[in-house]
Amino acid sequence: MKPIHRLLTAVVLATTTAAMLASCAHPRRTARAERRNDIRDAQVEAMTGWDKLGERWIEGGVDHDVIHVGRDDGRFSTIKLKAEHSALELFNVVVVFGDGDKFSPDTRLTFAQGSWSRDIDLPGGNRVIKRVEFSYGNLPGGGKAQLELWGK
């Protein structure tokens, strides 16, 4: 093997290893809290009929993210949002339906930790949601927040 190939192989392996370690570098406390949240989410789904469609961690500052839903998750007429682990400010939500139509409800909201949005009725009855786009941020002095998307 030529020296340049050895060097490239070493760089690729080092980069891959660093990325894998960074993705696993959550404190044990966070993993334990997530397991408790998953159990609580399953209880909420069973008791209320709401389905958890996804969640995203807010890394700090202003952020933009997407939760992909898709046809396999079913059709929904209502969504709602929940803030977990810390308070957050939600600037904008855009629901993109399976047919490409978009819906952006009035959503400039501040969420306390553990609080829910109102039920947001979607236009057109039961529809496939392709994705939901969010613009949000952590509130100053707060910790790392998580935004959950629920549908019914």
CATH of the domain at 101: 2.60.120
Question: Confidence class of residue 131 from pLDDT cuts 50, 70 and 90?
Answer: very high
Residues 21 and 71 in one domain: no
Domain of 126, in residue numbers: 51-152
Residues 71 and 36 in one domain: no
Residues 111 and 73 in one domain: yes
Residues 97 and 39 in one domain: no
DSSP string, 114-142: T-B---EEPTTSSEEEEEEEEEEEEPTT-
**What torsion do the CA atoms of 116, 119, 124, 125 make, to the nearest 10 degrees?**
110
In the chain, the percentage of residues whose pLDDT exceeds 70 is 73
Residues 79 and 127 in one domain: yes
**Residue recorded with tokens 């939600």:** 90
Residues 39 and 93 in one domain: no
Residues 72 and 60 in one domain: yes
Q: Which residue has the higher pLDDT, 8 or 42?
A: 42
Our count of domains for the chain comes to 2
Question: Confidence class of residue 130 from pLDDT cuts 50, 70 and 90?
Answer: very high
d(C-alpha 91, C-alpha 136), whole Å: 5
Residue 71 pLDDT > 90, yes or no?
no
Neighbours of 149 (CB within 10 A): 23
Residues 62 and 97 in one domain: yes
**What torsion do the CA atoms of 81, 85, 88, 91 make, to the nearest 10 degrees?**
-40
Residues 114 and 103 in one domain: yes
